[in-house]
């Protein structure tokens, strides 16, 4: 998986920075994993629709969003098994 996301010329890199900030927001992720995942997916598709990212980058962002959800679920299962 590629970790560097390219930004098309004339785009708004602040939108991509906002998406990355959302991805890094663990408190929101752990508070509502499903809703946070959906917001990440929607944001990634919006970046693609607005031509901020290309299709390869969209795939990468979707994989990162799925990974974040998996991380949250696994962390919650670990917490529950420790109790």
Tally Cβ neighbours within 10 Å of residue 58: 17
pTM: 0.80
- pLDDT band, very low/low/confident/very high, at 82 (cuts 50, 70, 90): low
pLDDT at 40: 98
For the chain, what are the domain ranges? 34-83
What's the pLDDT tens digit per position in 5-64?
Answer: 554 444 457 899 999 999 999 999 999 999 999 999 999 999 999 999 999 999 999 999
pLDDT score, position 8? 47
The C-alpha atoms of residue 32 and residue 2 are separated, in whole angstroms, by: 27
Determine the Cα–Cα distance for residues 3 and 81; give it in Å rounded to an integer. 32
């Amino acid at each position: 998986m590629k970790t560097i996301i390219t930004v098309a010329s004339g785009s708004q890199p602040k939108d991509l920075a906002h998406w990355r900030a959302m991805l890094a927001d663990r408190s929101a992720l752990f508070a509502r994993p499903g809703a946070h995942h959906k917001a990440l997916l929607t944001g990634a598709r919006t970046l693609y629709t607005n031509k901020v990212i290309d299709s390869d980058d969209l795939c990468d962002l979707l994989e990162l969003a799925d990974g974040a959800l998996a991380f949250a679920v696994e962390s919650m299962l670990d917490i529950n098994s420790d109790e």
